[in-house]
Each structure stands twice: as C-alpha cells, then as structure tokens.
Amino acid sequence: MKDKKTLDQILHYLKTEGPLTAGDLGKRLNITSMGARGHLEKLMDRALVDTTTIRSGVGRPRKTWHLTPRAQSQFPDRHDQLTLEMIISVKEIFGDEGLTQLIEHRSQSSERIYQEKLAAHSTLESKIAALAKIRTNEGYMAAYSKEDDGFLFIENHCPICAAAQACQGFCRSELQIFRTLFAPEATVNRTEYILEGARRCTYRIEPTGSLDR
C-alpha cells in the first residue's frame, strides 16, 4: 500500500511539474535518489515513465524522467468511448449547428455555476484561487501563480481530452468562459495547449488595472 502511494506521488509530481531527476523526486518524497530511482524503474516497467538524457556544458549528463502517453490513463477522465460516440452521433443527426448548440448549452451552464461560486470573492486573485479549486475538483489538477504583470492559471490535466480532440469547440468555449468570468477586470489568453503537444494548458490572466494587493 505504501509503495503504491509513493508511485502515485511520483506520477503526480511528473504530471504537475514536468520532467524531474531522481534526485529531484527524492527530495520531494523525502527519500534517497537511489530509492526514487527504484520506484521510477517500477513505473518504467509498466511503461508509465521514460527517461531523457540532457547534456549541457561540462560535467555528467543529467537524466530526467517524464510521463509516457500511457500514463495519462492514471489520471481522471470523465469522457469515455460512449461520450465520443455521442459527439459523433449529435453531429451526424443534427449537423455542425446542432453540435455548436450543445457546446454553447454546456458552456452557459458551466459559466453560470462558476459565476455563482466566484461571486463571494472580491479580489481578482481570490477569484482565480477559487476557480483553481473548482477546476481541480473537476479533474483538471489546476493551480495558479502570481507573476509581475498578472497571474498564470495552470491546468496540469484535461479530463475531457478525448472529447476535446474530437471537437475543439469544447476548448474554445472554455477559454471564452474564463474571459467572461474575469472581464472587465482582466484579460485571459491561452499560452500553452495540450492539444498542440504541450504538457499542460496555461492561461495568462492580466489585470486591466493595477494588481490587487
């Protein structure tokens, strides 16, 4: 049981932080780098992680560990094959317009729920923090960081990735939801995108006025 917990923690760190060395993981897990390497090798045997050797300057090359595509199955996914079949069926029966209406209906419902939950927060940062918590509960493994010129909103996982690949209108609608939620006090732009090969989706949220203090 303890071993499984450690393996799950390693997968979580690689998912949320990207490639790490065995030493990096050892520090986070409070174990030796050799111990971390042993756990990583178990995950490699299951084809969940792989390694990359980085050579830079003088000294020994660094070996970093990263998740494989197969590892995505270890994280929440709310849309299975049935969902994909439903999307295809909606498009075949009702056409592109019908699918657009379906996405808009989902978007309006999500936006209304988010607006209600964010209404109790008065500052931009508190709203972003609240949204990160909401999205994490929905399986997005969301977080945010404060930057000099605004905030970086991060989603380390996409639980609707399969549906989004079948219809990118879902992604466009979610970007529009974020823009509506924070307008007019901030602008929102997507800077990293999982469907374009990035490890995560990130959004830069820039206040239209001064940052909340």
Each residue of 153-162: pLDDT tens digit? Answer: 999 998 887 7
Domain final position from 12, 43, 73:
73
Residues 105 and 192 in one domain: yes
Report DSSP letters for 61-98, one per residue.
PEEEEEE-GGGGGGS-----HHHHHHHHHHHHHHHHHH
Structure tokens at 136: 């994490």
Does 213 reside within a domain? no
What is the pTM assigned to this prediction?
0.73
Q: Looking at residue 29, which CATH number applies to its domain?
A: 1.10.10.10
How far CA 182 is from CA of 56, 142, 207, in Å, comes to 42, 17, 9
Residues 143 and 171 in one domain: yes
104, 173 contact by CB (below 8 A): yes
Does 87 reside within a domain? yes
- Other CB atoms within a 10 A radius of the CB of residue 133 amount to 13
Structure tokens at 117: 């939950």
Compute the distance between CA of residue 152 and CA of residue 202 in angstroms, rounded to an integer.
7
Q: State the residue range of the domain holding 120.
A: 81-207
Task: Give the pLDDT band (50/70/90) at residue 79.
Answer: low
Compute the distance between CA of residue 14 and CA of residue 52 in angstroms, rounded to an integer.
13
Averaged pLDDT of the chain = 89
Residues 63 and 109 in one domain: no
What pLDDT score was predicted for residue 72? 83
In the chain, the number of structural domains is 2
Give the range among 17-26, 59-68, 129-138 with minimum mean pLDDT.
59-68
Does residue 170 carry a pLDDT above 90? no
Each residue of 80-95: pLDDT tens digit? Answer: 666 777 778 888 888 8
